[in-house]
């Protein structure tokens, strides 16, 4: 049996281990898929050498409800939309959405099976169009919000 290389001992999965013998068709396909994965992983998981943020962000891969607020702070429930969370920190949150946002203040809310409802008023500070056709926005969390959650899309259609 061949000895493992230093890289092989730190492999996350079997697919990360380099092959040392000729591969058949299925094994070759698996090896090529693993190589493609390693290339994507290297592109997406780059170490940060200088971090300007004060707080670490954690991934937020779930649907959120974004309810705009008017200039007086009143909820505009009829304009509420579903967005996809990107990440969150104690001070900020970012999310993906399908159209540009014509407002700056909003309430971001979610329902989580372990914690229940999370809702915060946010100040949307930036918005960028992505190559994939979506927008990504970042917001500063201003304060927690108590009260009724935003209606879901089906509730908006029924009313």
Give the domains, in start order, of the chain with CATH numbers.
6-44 (no CATH), 58-158 (2.30.110.10)
pLDDT band at 28 (very low <50, low <70, confident <90, very high): confident
Q: Please name every residue paired with 111 in a beta bridge, in sequence order, or none if there are none.
A: 117
User: In whole angstroms, what separates CA 142 from the centre of its chain?
Assistant: 20
For 72-114, the pLDDT digits (tens) are 999 999 999 999 999 999 899 999 999 889 899 999 999 888 8
14 with 33: CB under 8 angstroms? no
Q: Give the pairing type, strands 81-88 and 58-59.
A: antiparallel
How does pLDDT run across 117-143, given as a tens digit for each residue? 899 999 999 999 988 889 999 999 999
Q: Are 121 and 135 in contact (CB under 8 A)?
A: no
pLDDT at residue 66 is higher than 80: yes
The span from the first CA to the last CA of the chain, in angstroms, equals 69
* pTM of full prediction above 0.85: no
């Amino acid at each position: 049996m061949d000895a493992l290389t230093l890289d092989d001992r730190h492999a996350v999965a079997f697919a990360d281990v380099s092959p040392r013998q000729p591969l058949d068709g299925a094994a070759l396909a698996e090896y090529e898929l693993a190589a493609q994965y390693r290339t994507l992983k290297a592109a997406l998981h780059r170490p940060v050498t200088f971090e300007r943020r004060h707080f670490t962000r954690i991934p937020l891969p779930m649907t959120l409800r974004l309810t705009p607020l008017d200039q007086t702070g009143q909820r505009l429930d009829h304009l509420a939309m579903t967005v996809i969370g990107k990440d969150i920190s104690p001070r900020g949150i970012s999310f993906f959405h399908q159209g540009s946002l014509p407002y700056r203040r909003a309430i971001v809310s979610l329902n989580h099976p372990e914690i229940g409802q999370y809702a915060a008023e946010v100040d949307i500070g930036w918005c960028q169009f992505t190559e994939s056709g979506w927008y990504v926005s970042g917001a500063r969390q201003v304060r927690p919000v108590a009260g009724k959650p935003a209606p879901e899309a089906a509730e908006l259609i029924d009313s």
